[in-house]
Amino acid sequence: MNPATRPADISQPAAHLRLVSDRAAGATPGIKLSGVSKTYRSRDGDVPSLRPLDFTINDGEFFVVVGPSGCGKSTLLKMISGLLPPTTGEVLVDGEPVTRPHGNVGIVFQNALLLPWRNILSNVMLPIDMKQLPRDKYLARAKALLKLVGLEGFEKKLPWQLSGGMQQRASICRALVHDPKIMLMDEPFGALDAMTRERMNVELMRIQRETGKTVLLITHSIPEAVFLADRVLVMTERPGAIAAIYDVPMPRPRSLETMSDPVFTELVQRIRKHFFTQGSLD
């Protein structure tokens, strides 16, 4: 192995390999989780999904969670959006405890989940209909977002007439149309082919920069996590807990060349080690 790319000695970690339990929080913490855990009740008894978690996501931060399958990542996302109450602890968004859907989030799932009976534009307008906001006011915004992701001219198409990548871009527009503070993304590019996926990563970073949203993204791909993130949270196997949080001190804007940066490769290897010692990454 090339010594340059070998992970640094643990006793003397370089800046980007240092564990950060929690960054000194700014003036307004965007999302704050304190002692949040989740246990599902089932017929065979209680199934712990998440062990108590404490961390903060700052406003405008690109925060990525990596972890093995079934470590409760999606549960985390549902609790932040208010769809699922935590068993213990409390989720704070802008200092307000989350008890029910607060609508200040946009969600993107692995599947684009566009409604097949609505055209692209009215799919993007779904949150506006649900929140009963003035349609005409947001119509221009929806069109502008579609333009931002390169879907201009596809407004009247039905979802199945678009490729997988285009559908996912439309679903990103849907997550942004009501101008939420937070974008929650659950393996958003997991269903796309590798080439589209790389392009979408670059695009997502651009969208995040242009809109300034706080992004919480969940992924299985370690390179994707490091490429996108300001900070990466590594989770353990079920029941999920925080294994480590890493800073990604690479300058923005990043391009695909960033992936050959030694900082990038070292960080990827460091994170990968977490899973190989656990022996659980699929």
Partner 1 sequence: MAEAKSLSGVSKVLNAAWVRPFLFLVVIVVAWDLAIRLFHIPAYQIPSPGDVVAVLWSDWPELLRQSWPTTYATICGFLLSALFGIPTAMLIAGSKTVESYVYPLLVFSQSVPKIAIAPLFVVWFGFGIIPKVISAFLLGFFPVVVSAVQGFKSVDPDMVDLARAMQGSRFKVFCAVNLPHAMPAIFSGLKVSVTLAVVGAVVGEFVGSNSGIGYVMQRSIGTFDLPTMFAALVILALLGVILFWIVDRIERLVIPWHVSQRDDIIFAS
Closest CA to 61 of 99, 22, 13: 22
Q: Which one among 131, 135, 206, 273 touches partner 1, defined by CB under 8 A?
A: 131
What amino acid occupies position 267?
L
* Region for residue 162 given its phi and psi (left: phi exceeds 0; alpha: psi -120 to 50; beta: otherwise): beta
Kindly state whether residue 168 participates in binding partner 1, applying the rule CB under 8 A. Answer: no
Site string for partner 1, 140-159 (x = CB under 8 A): ------------------x-
Closest CA to 168 of 182, 147, 144, 185: 185
Nearer to partner 1, 17 or 124 (CB): 124
Q: Which one among 39, 87, 111, 280 touches partner 1, defined by CB under 8 A?
A: 111
Closest CA to 107 of 186, 22, 208: 186
Kindly state whether residue 169 participates in binding partner 1, applying the rule CB under 8 A. Answer: no
The Cα–Cα gap between 213 and 198 comes to 20
Strand 62-66 versus strand 182-186 pairing type: unpaired
Closest approach of Cβ 119 to partner 1, in Å? 9
Closest CA to 219 of 278, 275, 266: 275
Contact positions with partner 1 (CB under 8 A) in 59-88: 78, 81-83
Nearer to partner 1, 132 or 260 (CB): 132
Closest approach of Cβ 133 to partner 1, in Å? 10
- Residues near partner 1, by CB under 8 A: 78, 81-83, 101-103, 105, 107, 109, 111, 113, 115-117, 126-127, 129-131, 158, 160, 178
